[in-house]
Amino acid sequence: MKTALLLSYLGSQYHGWQRQNNALTIQQLVEDAWEKTCGCKAYISGCGRTDSGVHAKYYVATTDAPTTIPLERLPMALNARLPEDVVIRRAVAVEDDFDARFSCVQKEYTYLIHNSRVRDPFSIDRAWFFPQALDVEAMQRAAGDFVGTQDFAAVHNEGTPVSSTVRTVKYCQVEARPGDIIAVRVCADGFLYNMVRVIVGTLVYVGLGKIPADGIPGILRSGDRLQAGTTAPACGLYMTALTYGRRELDGRSD
């Protein structure tokens, strides 16, 4: 059996999930905590790579490393070895063939934009401060055109090579929240490199009037990254929901 860990972390101080030789990452912190706590090295596989500065309110990782600590006590033991901005919330047993990434049916990301003329010090590194006025209604109309099974080559940046740029977006929603916050919520069966951040940047261009609200289908058909908007900064992006079809692992957190 493997162990699945449910995590939350604030990514501002870290260079994403995946372990790197010259930068501190979430994977390194969790693996080091496991070794110190359980007395053995562990490879802990995450449900996806989050970029430097990206946050996760809901994240799943797995390992087949052994532990004699009861699973109900394991989160507390690991958290004692972790910094305050990385938290293990739950540990559950899963089958050997379970994979945190490939067993995931769909993921949801939420992006926060602080759309105000005055900066909020409590949103620094946690939302994209954008002082220019945005047309939220136009952004909402445009967001729906990202939904469906489509080629999303136009809204991703070059990264790890992929065999296909076709993905299925379940929903793409723009919501005005209290405190001058605009939230963009995107759920899909999988994501390309920077896909959500480019979708957000493209919707911001719609909100500015640089791209018409009905212009998204044409951009996607073109497959041309240059026709889409900017890549939104990492600080506003959160992984907020995962679906595995398992009650003990499925969840979301806004």
Contact 199, 172 (CB under 8 A): yes
pLDDT tier for residue 158 given thresholds of 50, 70 and 90: confident
Angle at 229 between CA 234 and CA 155, to 5 degrees: 75
d(CA 16, CA 70) in angstroms, rounded, equals 29
Q: Give the helix ranges, DSSP H, for the chain.
A: 26-38, 74-79, 136-143, 195-208, 216-222
**Mean pLDDT estimate for the chain:** 95
pLDDT at residue 254 is higher than 70: no
Q: In sequence order, what E strands does the chain have?
A: 2-9, 45-46, 55-63, 86-94, 106-114, 128-129, 148-151, 166-177, 181-188, 237-243, 251-252
Intrachain domains 2-103 and 106-240 with the same fold: yes
Confidence check: pLDDT of 252 > 90:
no
CA proximity to 47, closest of 85, 8, 95, 87: 8
The verdict on domain 106-240 having CATH code 3.30.70.660 is yes
Contact, 232 vs 88, CB < 8 A? no
**pLDDT at position 210, please?**
97
When pLDDT is averaged across residues 228-238 and rounded to a whole number, the result is: 97
Residue 49 has pLDDT above 90, yes or no: no
Catalytic residue among 51, 85, 120, 125: 51
Q: Is 64 a catalytic residue?
A: no
Pairing of strands 55-63, 237-243: parallel
**Per-residue confidence at 57, pLDDT binned at 50, 70, 90?**
very high
Average pLDDT over residues 142-148: 98
Distance CA 114, CA 119 (A): 8
| 89: DSSP letter | E
pLDDT at 162 over 90: no
All structural domains of the chain with their residue ranges: 2-103, 106-240
Looking at the domain that runs over 2-103, which CATH code has it been given?
3.30.70.580
Mean pLDDT within 152-157: 94
